[in-house]
Amino acid sequence: MARTRLRGLEIAGIQIGIEVPEVYDWDWPHGPVADYQCVPYEPEVHVGVRVGSLTNEDLGGERYAVGPWTFEVVRKFGDWQLGLSRGGHRVQLARFDDGFQIGEVIVSPEFARRGTYPLQGPLGEWIVLQRTVARGGLCLIATADAVDGGALLRLGASVAIGRGASSDASLLGRHTVLVRAEQGRLRVFRAPWSVAVDNRLSSRSLLRELQAVEPAPVPFDTLLDPVEAAERIVTYAVVPLCDESLLDGVLRNAQWIARNTPLRELGRVPARAGSPTALQAAQQGGAFAAPPVW
C-alpha cells in the first residue's frame, strides 16, 4: 500500500483533511490560501488524493468559467462529480458524497508533476460553500466592517478592492462574506478568495448588525421585521442554480439569521450617473456571484 500524509486546511471553521500520496509532493500556492493551513486534528471533510489518467469527456452538468479554469459540477445518484479543466484539458476530477464530507480528487500526472495544490480555486470554494450551508450559514454578497469589537455586514458589493486578499478570479466572488453561527452566536468569517472583510477584523468576528442600502429620494433608516429581513438576505446569497437542496438550506438559514440579527434598511440618495452599482461590482467578481432572481 502506498504511503500517504495528511495535510490540513481550515476556512470559516471548516477543517479539511487532505490525504496525499508521497509521490505527489505539492506546495501551497502563493497567496492567501497558504495562511489557512492547519494541523488536521479533527477534519469534518476528508479528501483523498491520487494521481491518475483523466479523459476530457463532458460531465453533463453546469459549467463555470473561473479565470483560466473551467469548473464542471454534476450530481449523479446523490453523489457529486466536479471537474477542473484548463485550455480544454482536464486536470482534476473529484467525487464527493451528498454532504461533502468524504471525497476523492484524481489529479492528472502532468498536474501532479508540477506540484500543484489539489484543491485549486473553485474546488476548494465549492466544498466550503456546501459545508457552510450544511452548518446553518450563508455566503453573502456583502462587505464586513469593524465596529464595536465586531462586524457590521453591509449587503451588496463594494467597489473598493484591496483588503489584503487575492484579486484572482473566484467562483463565489471576491465580494462575498461567509456568515455562520458558532457556539450559538453569529459570526463573520474571513476567506482567502474574498476582499470584502475589513483588515481590522480577525479570521472570525462577532456579527453585530446587518444593513441593506436602497436608493431613495431622501435618506431613511428602518428596522425590518424577520420575515422581510429573511427575504432581503436571500437576494444577496450565493446559490448555484444546479443544486435545489442547497437552495432549500439557504432559505432556511436566511430565516434563522434574520430572527437572530437585526437588519436595518437604509435609504440613500443615489450616486451620480456613471458610478458602478453594487450588483455590477458583484457580477465582476465571480462565476455566480450575482444574486438569483426568485
Cβ pair 83, 155 in contact under 8 A: no
Half-sphere exposure of 267 (CA within 13 A, CB side): 7
**φ and ψ at residue 27, rounded to 5 degrees:** -110, 150
In whole angstroms, give the CA distance from residue 31 to residue 25.
18
Would you mind telling me the total number of residues written for the chain in this entry?
294
pLDDT at 242: 67
Packing angle, helices 244-260 and 226-234, rounded to 10: 140
SS3 83: strand
**Which class for 101: exposed (0-12), middle (13-18), buried (19 or more C-beta within 10 A)?**
middle
pTM of the shown model = 0.87
Write the Ramachandran bin of 133: left for phi over 0, alpha for psi from -120 to 50, otherwise beta. alpha
pLDDT tens over the chain, length 294 residues: 457 789 999 999 999 999 988 888 888 888 889 999 999 888 999 999 999 999 999 999 999 999 999 999 998 888 999 999 999 999 999 999 999 999 999 999 998 999 889 998 899 999 999 999 999 999 999 999 999 889 999 998 764 444 444 546 889 999 999 999 998 899 999 999 999 999 999 999 999 999 998 877 888 789 999 999 999 999 999 987 667 778 899 999 999 999 999 999 988 878 665 544 444 444 444 555 444 333
CA distance 203 to 191: 8
What pLDDT score was predicted for residue 277? 45
- 75 beta partners: 80
C-alpha cell at 150: 465586531
Give, for 229, the enclosing helix (H) or strand (E): helix 226-234
SS3 222: strand
Between CA 43 and CA 14 the distance in angstroms is 8
C-alpha grid cell, residue 143: 462587505
CA–CA separation, 49 and 104 (whole Å): 6
* CA dist list (Å): 54 to 4, 21, 92, 96, 116: 21, 18, 8, 17, 16
